[in-house]
Structure 1
Amino acid sequence: MIEVRDLRVRYGGRLVADVPELDVGAGECVAIVGESGSGKSTTLLSLLGLTPDAEISGQVRVCGVEVLTASPRRLREIRGARVALVMQSPQAALSPATRLGVLMRRALKLHGVGNGSAKGSAEIMAEAVAAVMLDPEILTRYPHEVSGGQAQRFALALAIALGAEVILADEPTSALDVTVQAEVVGVLRRLRAERGLALLLVSHDLALVSTIADRVLVMKDGAVVESGPAARVLAEPRHPYTRELLEAVLSVPGASL
């Protein structure tokens, strides 16, 4: 679902992301971890052509589309409909003056989902919110009337309604308390298992990554310093920076992997 080779992203000549190889298959979760400024989010955004001011080279294929050479029209066809981007604070991306149900219905119409009928759209919306364990009543609310966890799950419901095959999640649980984090992670894990979604997760939370990721890429100063199966990387890190990240987690009282 995602194939990256020799991706390099530069701003003003400065290399901010250098990813030699990144693959994510259907039903698989790959996590990119590292401190702030390590190039994680830049890498994620480049997969959808959302770094317009950057100089980018390499090969990036998402759902069979070569992103770096695709036309704006071709990119619009895969954004949302086949590849969904779930941001750290989804409420900030939602119109505060529009009810969630109206927002979802507009997205479905934009991508031609639901055959253009109100009945078809309503059924798809109801199934999508149920899949992420939300009450359909949430569709009558405005963004400011829902919690952070509900907003994250609504973003996932929107991806489901549009039929997305790939989810790019940028720190999806960092603003949530521990209980709500567990709910969101549970939804992501179930969507992978039941729908075969490919998930690329950006996070600095190694405890979270240990519960969901199949493979891990560790980034520092824009470069991938270590990668491999999550169980191996987190249990037997080979790079000093990876060991530093793990030690930082284990030094926090109550934290565990």
Structure 2
Amino acid sequence: MTGHLIEARDLRVSYGGRVVADVPRLDVGAGECVAIVGESGSGKSTTLLSLLGLTQNAEISGQVRVCGVDVLTAAPRALRELRGARAALVMQSPHAALSPATRLGVLMRRALKLHGVKDVADTMARAMDAVLLDRELLRRYPHEVSGGQAQRFAIALAIALGAEVILADEPTSALDVTVQAEVVGVLRRLRAERGLALLLVSHDLALVSTIADRVLVMKDGAVVESGPAAEVLAEPSHPYTRELLEALP
């Protein structure tokens, strides 16, 4: 395997002998965005979670390296150090992942101290500025911020911890079109300025076309097509990809 920040070869995830994700090859380099697209149940999110060793009770085979860490053989401590500090997971509904009884600033401060960040106050301020959020929001509880603000806070937390990789699972699906554009704009700028590697799971091909360099199309757990986003979305070779594109409003 080469020097990408995310590398997977012959990745296969099964439950009880049933294969739910089979990905022959997946690479994401610094400053690059790769999108995994497909309908619900196609294996997109399972693939994403397996890259950080977060699939419970699953049988996983193949090779997976994230930021140089062999995820399938790493000790629990190495995985804890990888998650958050170097590779961050941004979920579809950030409100569901945030404690309703904890102010955003307290949550971020705890995470930074847990990962050994020294200048906590300055790091928090710079992270909020990077995602275009008012620092005043750190005094609020999760229910006091909008969905778009909560999603950008999740991204701010990732970059505050120094993440080199962001794995985003449908990060804009619960947002309206205007807020989607804001979140995508933040991710695009962070890729350019910080060299973040971004792996994006989405069913929204219109969104994917605005940010992804390469695309993997999954159906029933298998990759049916992959390649540069401009080529796959403009001239798809697989009937399923054409169906997805024809379904766009």
Secondary structure, counterpart of 1:168 in structure 2: strand
Q: CA deviation at 1:100?
A: 0.2
Partner of 1:255: none
Partner of 1:76: 80
Tell me which amino acid in the other structure corresponds to 1:157: A
Partner of 2:231: 232
Partner of 2:18: 14
- Aligned pair count reads 245
Partner of 1:241: 240
| CA distance in structure 2 between the partners assigned to 1:122 and 1:111 by the alignment | 14
Q: CA deviation at 1:52?
A: 2.5
2:112 aligned with 1:108: yes
| CA distance in structure 2 between the partners assigned to 1:74 and 1:81 by the alignment | 11
Partner of 2:144: 145
Partner of 2:53: 49
Tell me which amino acid in the other structure corresponds to 1:212: I
Partner of 2:158: 159
Encode CA deviations 1:69-118: one digit per residue, 9 max, x unaligned.
011111000100000000000110111000000000000011001x2xxx
Q: CA deviation at 1:13?
A: 0.8
Q: CA deviation at 1:196?
A: 0.2
Partner of 1:135: 134
| CA distance in structure 1 between the partners assigned to 2:159 and 2:64 by the alignment | 23
Q: CA deviation at 1:151?
A: 0.4
Partner of 1:37: 41
| CA distance in structure 2 between the partners assigned to 1:77 and 1:63 by the alignment | 11
Unaligned runs of 5+ in 1: 253-257
| CA distance in structure 1 between the partners assigned to 2:195 and 2:151 by the alignment | 20
Q: CA deviation at 1:217?
A: 0.0
Partner of 1:58: 62
Partner of 1:67: 71
Partner of 2:94: 90
Encode CA deviations 1:37-62: one digit per residue, 9 max, x unaligned.
00000000000000121000000000
* TM-score normalised by structure 2 residue count: 0.98
Tell me which amino acid in the other structure corresponds to 2:126: E
Unaligned runs of 5+ in 2: none
Encode CA deviations 1:105-160: one digit per residue, 9 max, x unaligned.
000011001x2xxxx21110000001000000000000010000000000000011
Tell me which amino acid in the other structure corresponds to 1:45: L
| CA distance in structure 2 between the partners assigned to 1:184 and 1:104 by the alignment | 19
Partner of 2:205: 206
Tell me which amino acid in the other structure corresponds to 1:21: R
Tell me which amino acid in the other structure corresponds to 2:215: V
Identity of paired residues, percent?
Answer: 88
| CA distance in structure 1 between the partners assigned to 2:89 and 2:75 by the alignment | 19
* TM-score normalised by structure 1 residue count: 0.95
Secondary structure, counterpart of 2:62 in structure 1: strand
Encode CA deviations 1:162-211: one digit per residue, 9 max, x unaligned.
00000000000000000000000000000000000000000000000000
